[in-house]
Amino acid sequence: MHEMALCEGIIGIVEEEARKHSFSRVKVVFLEIGALSHAAPEAMTFCFEAVAARTIARGARLEIVETPAIAWCVACSTSIEIRHRYGPCPSCGSHQLQVTGGEEMRVKELEVD
């Protein structure tokens, strides 16, 4: 389950920010997950709770914001939302798509004390 390693990375980011900005407790972590990121939101929530248990984020809520997958269609010069990486353009049917968004995962915001 790679979500455990991803959550360990998130906690690392949170702890680094705590050192930089001198806060003592994290209440909410807002995490942006792209539709093509291959991270399961339910697994992320479960793993976050386990990894955060003995850290500054103990008891913090993980708020996941899912972002759509976006691609540029070379054939019709249109930015489109896609459901699958190798699916066709919903406008023209072309498979000449360049993914421009939806692969990312980032800590977007922290609510702290």
Domain limits for position 7: 2-112
pLDDT of res. 27: 97
How many structural domains does the chain have?
1
Q: Which two tokens stand for residue 1?
A: 């389950």
pTM: 0.85
Sheet of 105-112, strand order: 61-67, 26-34, 105-112
CATH classification of the domain holding 20: 3.30.2320.80
> pLDDT 10s digit of each residue in the chain, 113 long?
589 999 999 999 999 999 999 999 999 999 999 999 999 999 999 999 999 999 999 999 999 999 999 999 999 999 999 988 888 999 999 999 999 999 999 999 999 98
Residue for token pair 């399961």:
40
Note whether 61 and 71 are within 8 A (CB).
no
User: How many whole angstroms separate alpha carbon 6 and alpha carbon 59?
Assistant: 18
Helix (H) or strand (E) holding 11: helix 2-21
